[in-house]
Amino acid sequence: MPEIGGRKGGVPLVCLTAYTTPMAQLLDSHVDLLLVGDSLAMVIYGHSSTLSVTLETMIAHGGAVVRGAELSCVIVDMPFGTYQETPALAFRNAARVMAETGCAGIKLEGGAEMAETIAFLTARGIPVLGHVGLMPQSVHTAGGYRAQGRAPEDAARIMDDAKAVSDAGAFAIVIESTVEPLARRITDEVPVPTIGIGASPACDGQILVTEDLMGLFLDFTPRFVRRYAELGASVESAAEAYADDVRARRFPGPENLFGPKVPRAASA
């Protein structure tokens, strides 16, 4: 992944999630990287965590996003349970994701414990985006969705994780919900670009869940999100206006109707 991996320092990388073709088409010319995140389990499918998403679902959405993206680098998340067991299993599943979606690489969560797998994948042609700090697939062992790295021993472990992931060959690393000074230090100390979400403005790039910044994911807004639009409110008012028009027989109007076929004038 030379384009993204070479973007250490300089103009920050712009990254967003996408799960569908139309959203990928809308975002494509504005971002460097589109992530088909396993967050789709919560954002699209209404699950309470990311754990329930399957490889087949990620492949279906990955293919949809690739079909909508001409310029940006599309990365697909490996779902929980499809890569942790052995490097060989990770390779088989990641190879399926690459072959069946046409994406540019995969993302997996984990630090030092995943270094062997990351090295195995990258040595076999699969670009890997790492993910350290808060790892939503480990929510049950990490004690919830809390910011990471407050205690000195946690900060040291996350720093070691980032270095291990980078040394193993990841082309960049997502740092999620990690105290700011630590995310800044990781960015200073690892040679590959860092992409922050709830991390630090010093990161080499930023990523957000698109539905969060568009105001479409209504359950709650995390502290690290800035809302750039209120599309949820627009959707509701459009639905209300449509319902009013249908009930009052104002829709469909004459401009929405097909007339009877007009026979061609007989030639003289």
Q: Which residues bind ligand KIV (CB under 6 A)?
A: 17, 35, 37-39, 77, 174, 176, 197, 207, 209
Taking the complex as a whole, how short is the minimal distance between the CB of residue 115 and ligand KIV, in angstroms?
Answer: 19
Cα dihedral across residues 218, 215, 40, 165: positive or negative: negative
Q: Which is nearer to ligand KIV, 32 or 77 (CB)?
A: 77
Taking the complex as a whole, how short is the minimal distance between the CB of residue 136 and ligand KIV, in angstroms?
Answer: 7
The residues, ordered by sequence, that sit 6+ positions from 45 with a Cβ below 8 Å of its Cβ are 52, 53, 57
Taking the complex as a whole, how short is the minimal distance between the CB of residue 36 and ligand KIV, in angstroms?
Answer: 8
Taking the complex as a whole, how short is the minimal distance between the CB of residue 29 and ligand KIV, in angstroms?
Answer: 21
Determine whether 189 is an active site residue: no
For the packed helices 152-167 and 180-189, what is the interaxial angle rounded to 10 degrees?
30
Q: Which is nearer to ligand KIV, 77 or 161 (CB)?
A: 77
Catalytic residue among 176, 189, 211, 240: 176
Q: Which is nearer to ligand KIV, 18 or 179 (CB)?
A: 18
Taking the complex as a whole, how short is the minimal distance between the CB of residue 252 and ligand KIV, in angstroms?
Answer: 39
Question: Minimal CB distance to ligand KIV: which residue?
Answer: 37
Can you give the length of the chain in residues? 268
Q: Which is nearer to ligand KIV, 32 or 176 (CB)?
A: 176
The distance from CA 100 to its chain's CA centroid, rounded to whole angstroms, is: 18
d(CA 104, CA 46): 27
Taking the complex as a whole, how short is the minimal distance between the CB of residue 51 and ligand KIV, in angstroms?
Answer: 12
Q: Which is nearer to ligand KIV, 35 or 172 (CB)?
A: 35
Q: Which is nearer to ligand KIV, 155 or 197 (CB)?
A: 197
Q: Which residues are catalytic?
A: 176
